[in-house]
Amino acid sequence: MMLRVRFILVPTFALAAVCASATVIGQNVAALPLTEERLATLPAAQQDAWRQYLARSVAQMQADRAALQSELKKAGLNAPLLPPSMGSAKSIPLDKPPEWYASPEARRIADIVVSFQTPAGGWSKNLNLTDHARRPGEHFAGDNSSPVPSAADFDTSKDTKWEYVGTLDNDATTTEIRFLAKVAAAGGENAAAWRAAFVKGLEYILSSQYPNGGWPQIWPLQGGYHDAITFNDDAMTKAMDVLMDAADGHGEFAPVPTELRVRAKAAAAKGIAITLNTQIRVKGQLTAWGQQHDMLDLKPVGARNYEPPCLSSGESASLMIFLMKLPQPSPEIVSAVRAAAAWLQHVAIYGKAFEKGANGRMLTAREGAGPIWSRFYEIGSDRPIFGDRDKSIHDDVNEISLERRNGYSWYNAGAKTALERFAAWNASRP
Q: Which residues are catalytic?
A: 170, 304
**Which residue pairs from 259-266 have beta carbons closer than 8 angstroms and sit at least 24 positions apart in sequence?**
260/199, 260/202, 260/203, 263/206, 264/202, 264/206
The rounded distance, in Å, linking the Cα atoms of 34 and 40 is 11
**Amino acid at residue number 245:** D
Q: 393 pairs with which residues across the strands?
A: 26, 387
Q: Where are the beta strands (DSSP E) in 258-396?
A: 281-282, 285-286, 292-293, 311-312, 352-357, 360-365, 373-374, 376-377, 386-387, 392-394
Q: Is the peptide bond before 84 cis (omega within 30 degrees of 0)?
A: no
- The span from the CA of 216 to the CA of 207, in Å, is 11
Which residue type, as a one-letter code, is found at position 114? Answer: V
Contacts of 52 (CB under 8 A, 6+ apart): none
DSSP conformation class of 55: H
